[in-house]
């Protein structure tokens, strides 16, 4: 962002130059994410005390996944990470708070890209399970010493990474995701395989499943 700001201040930005256009696009996404994170922090107390009002509405899941993938495309390219999106049927509708759902996907996808080695893939997939749809974000990552991966959603949770043996705090983003999904009457889960493949998943109701 500082490089882009300097180009603008010095009146050196040239839209005809591809690196400048790419830098502008990257800066735009970074600013959008920064504002979203600030907004998450503002909404966090309301989610904690159940005073945040979520308007549940039918949302076309394919469009929501497409919007989420678009936001992380630049970050994936910058980190040389492959983004594999497996879209559901065009007419698959879920009942959610659209903005909250996109924030959850955004948190999961950026965390996955950030923790995936160059050349590896992050997969975003939707699985129709009858009355619900499960959205999974999977990536190969670093193993951590945690007995129950769902503990990562707890506030101020710390985990020890097996590679470095260092304690690192899980961000408030995962805690926000837990509260946001629960506010939408959904379920959130985390798992890690013996090979170190991480999977964060969200299950929400399909349209017509809520009476």
Residue 64 has pLDDT above 90, yes or no: yes
Query: Which pLDDT does position 168 carry in this prediction?
Result: 44
Tokens 């707890």 — which residue? 154
pTM, 2 dp: 0.80
Residue 35 has pLDDT above 60, yes or no: yes
Kindly report, residue by residue over 178-204, the tens digit of the pLDDT: 999 999 999 999 988 877 788 999 999
Q: How many CA atoms lie within 13 A of 103 on its CB side?
A: 26
pLDDT mean over 75-101: 93
Distance CA 51, CA 2 (A): 38
Query: Which pLDDT does position 158 carry in this prediction?
Result: 60
Structure tokens at 197: 């493949």
Residue 92 — very low, low, confident or very high, per pLDDT cuts 50/70/90?
very high
User: Counting beta carbons within 10 angstroms of the beta carbon of residue 207, is it exposed (0 to 12), middle (13 to 18) or buried (19 or more)?
Assistant: middle
Q: How many helices (H) and strands (E) does the chain have?
A: 5, 10
Distance CA 116, CA 123 (A): 11
Q: Which domains does the chain have, with CATH numbers?
A: 55-205 (3.30.565.10)
Residue 56 has pLDDT above 80, yes or no: yes
Query: Which pLDDT does position 97 carry in this prediction?
Result: 95
Greater confidence, 123 or 155? Answer: 123
Residue 80 has pLDDT above 70, yes or no: yes
Query: How many Å separate Cα 3 from the centre of its chain?
Result: 26
Residue 63 has pLDDT above 90, yes or no: yes
Ordered alpha helix ranges (H), the chain: 2-9, 18-48, 61-78, 98-114, 172-183
Tokens 């970050």 — which residue? 75
Structure tokens at 78: 């910058």
User: Counting beta carbons within 10 angstroms of the beta carbon of residue 97, is it exposed (0 to 12), middle (13 to 18) or buried (19 or more)?
Assistant: buried
Greater confidence, 22 or 96? Answer: 96
Distance CA 162, CA 78 (A): 26
Residue 159 has pLDDT above 70, yes or no: no
């Amino acid at each position: 962002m500082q490089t882009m700001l300097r180009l603008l201040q010095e009146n050196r930005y040239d839209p005809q130059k591809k690196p400048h256009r790419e830098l502008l696009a990257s800066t735009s996404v970074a600013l959008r994410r920064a504002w979203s994170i600030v907004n998450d922090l503002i909404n966090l107390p309301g989610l904690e005390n159940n005073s945040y009002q979520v308007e549940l509405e039918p949302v076309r899941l394919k469009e929501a996944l497409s919007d989420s993938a678009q936001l992380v495309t630049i970050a994936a390219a910058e980190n040389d990470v492959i983004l594999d999106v497996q879209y559901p049927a065009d007419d698959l509708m879920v009942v959610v708070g659209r903005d909250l759902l996109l924030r959850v996907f955004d948190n999961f996808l950026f965390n996955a890209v950030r923790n995936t080695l160059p050349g590896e893939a992050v997969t975003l997939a939707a699985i129709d399970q009858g009355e619900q749809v499960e959205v999974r974000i999977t990536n190969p990552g670093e193993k951590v010493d945690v007995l129950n991966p769902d503990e990562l959603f707890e506030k101020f949770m710390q985990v020890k990474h097996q590679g470095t043996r260092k304690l690192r705090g899980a961000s408030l983003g995962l805690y926000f995701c837990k509260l946001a999904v629960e506010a939408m009457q959904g379920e959130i889960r985390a798992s890690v395989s013996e090979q170190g493949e991480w999977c964060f998943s969200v299950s929400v109701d399909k349209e017509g499943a809520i009476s």
